[in-house]
Amino acid sequence: MKVIEHLNTNKGKTLFSFELIPPLKGESIQSIFDAMNPLMEFNPPFVDVTYHREEYVYKIREGGLLERKVTRKRPGTVGICAAIMNRYQVDAVPHIICGGFSKEETENALIDLSFLGIENVLALRGDAVKSEGSFIPEKDGHNYAVDLIGQIVDMNKGDYIDDDLPHPIPTNFCIGVAGYPEKHFEAPNLNSDMNALKAKVDAGAEYIVTQMFFDNAKYFEFVEKCREFGINVPIIPGLKPFTTKKQLSVLPRIFHIDIPDDLVTAVSACKDNKAVVEVGIEWAVQQSKELMKKDVPCLHYYTMGRSRATEKIAAQLF
Ligand code: FAD
């Protein structure tokens, strides 16, 4: 079933969902099942699985030669999605990105997903490869998420890149996209980012999942701004439970978000990460309760591969 159908058939109710990241290459899929098992009692209608593109690893070989190795640290998104659908009968939402894909490779990836019975994708541009500094599209790939959405919408109409196909069958994907309550870091200002988001919705995105935020006021202002811009699709808030002290510096650096003073003070006062987990759970529960009171369509938790905190939060809410 499509995410938008889940949201529409449960109007007035806040659903529970979460995001998983594939295990490191060489590790077992069991970690995915271990993360999912305790969360199943909260009836997630859909589960997202992130996509991780290639990275360049540099090694100095004997003789001082510099060797560049291209590697993907966390492959397996599609396989995990298929395994989740099979094992749990829950809809899986693979993330699909522009980076590293030509249009033809995207087309072939979408055919794989379609053959697996996957009806949902979260369409993203992806970040720059670390060593490249800024995002460089693949040769004959997409520059922005909006262009990727255009390709998926075309395929949904049976219009493939390969125009020599005798009987191209339309795919049937529901498309979600990312939104940034605190602005995407590359956008020169909030209005230009809102215009980019509106373009994604106009192109065919049916719902938005937000970047994590720790101050609900930012989400409420974002929703208001979206409505002013004529963006009327459901906006799912993304929440991340704090679990380590290090995240005080890591999360703002990687995700370009603010941490409220009260949370900084509470986390800083913790004597170890065990105490941080408790603070993080309490903060996320309070955020979730306020969001539920405002009838958000779904609460979406970023587990980053560990579901214990999300389980404790969900147990207090769902
Ligand atoms: P876009 O919507 O393309 O926007 C990128 C930037 O370009 C923005 O600043 C926007 O304002 C600007 N822009 C857009 N269109 C135009 C235009 N036509 N002209 C000029 N400027 C424009 N990354 C991964 O690699 N894998 C994942 O699984 C993943 N999952 C994510 C899930 C969520 C919920 C979120 C919020 C992010 C996720 N990301 C993931 C990170 C995401 O790929 C990055 O934030 C990326 O930098 C932007 O992706 P986007 O789809 O928002 O890009």
- For residues 134 and 55, what is the distance between their CA atoms, to the nearest angstrom? 14
Domain spans of the chain?
A: 3-315
Phi and psi at 174, nearest 5°, equal -90, 130
Atom 41 of ligand 1: nearest residue by CA position? 126
Tell me if 29 sits within 8 A of 79, measured CB to CB. Answer: yes
Collapsing DSSP states into helix, strand and coil, what is residue 294? coil
Ligand 1, pocket-test mutation among 184, 186, 300, most atoms within 8 A of CB: 184
Query: Given the structure tokens 């295990």, which residue do they identify?
Result: 23
ipTM: 0.99
Q: Is 297 exposed, middle or buried (0-12, 13-18, 19+ CB in 10 A)?
A: buried
- For residues 273 and 126, what is the distance between their CA atoms, to the nearest angstrom? 30
DSSP class of 182: T
CATH 1.10.340.30 fits 3-315, yes or no: no
Distance 300 CA to ligand 1 centre (A): 18
On whether the pTM is more than 0.90, the answer is yes
**Three-point CA angle 282, 288, 292, nearest 5°:** 150
pLDDT one digit per residue (tens) for the chain, 318 residues: 999 999 999 999 999 999 999 999 999 999 999 999 999 999 999 999 999 998 888 888 888 888 888 889 999 999 999 999 999 999 999 999 999 999 999 999 999 999 999 999 999 999 998 878 899 999 999 999 999 999 999 999 999 999 899 999 999 999 999 999 999 999 999 999 999 999 999 999 999 999 999 999 999 999 999 999 999 999 999 999 999 999 999 999 999 999 999 999 999 999 999 999 999 999 999 999 999 999 999 999 999 988 999 999 999 999
